[in-house]
Amino acid sequence: MKNFYEVLPEYNLPTGTADIILHSFPGAKIRHELHDIFEIKQVPKSANESELKAQFELVKKQAKRHLIGDYKNWRAVAVCFRGNKDFKIKIYN
């Protein structure tokens, strides 16, 4: 798979650093092309619902701001975890 996809942690974009970039190499013979930007936050397991919601709003803004210029047709994924079982996710296409 390393000849088809590239995973780049802490990747610098014109709009700031993205936590993870996942994309397929141009011309790779694959079933689905991937062009994804991930922004991820984690709050303590003890965080209440309003703290989780506030951090989720922040991570959604961070993810969405990257969808401009060369990245306007990419998918942005915002994820906020509380502990290791509770999470919120938003996908921007």
Q: 78 phi and psi, to 5 degrees? A: -110, 125
Residue of higher predicted confidence among 26 and 85: 85
Q: What is the pLDDT of residues 7-64, one digit of tens each?
A: 889 999 999 999 999 987 766 566 667 889 999 999 999 999 999 999 999 999 999 9
- Detail the DSSP E strand segments found in the chain: 5-13, 16-24, 35-43, 75-82, 86-92
User: If pLDDT is split at 50, 70 and 90, which confidence band does 5 have?
Assistant: confident
What domains sit in the chain, N to C, each tagged with a CATH number?
5-92 (3.40.1350)
| Alpha carbons 73 and 35: distance in angstroms, whole number | 8
Task: Read off the DSSP letter of residue 29.
Answer: -
pTM for the whole structure: 0.84
Coil, strand, or helix at residue 50?
helix
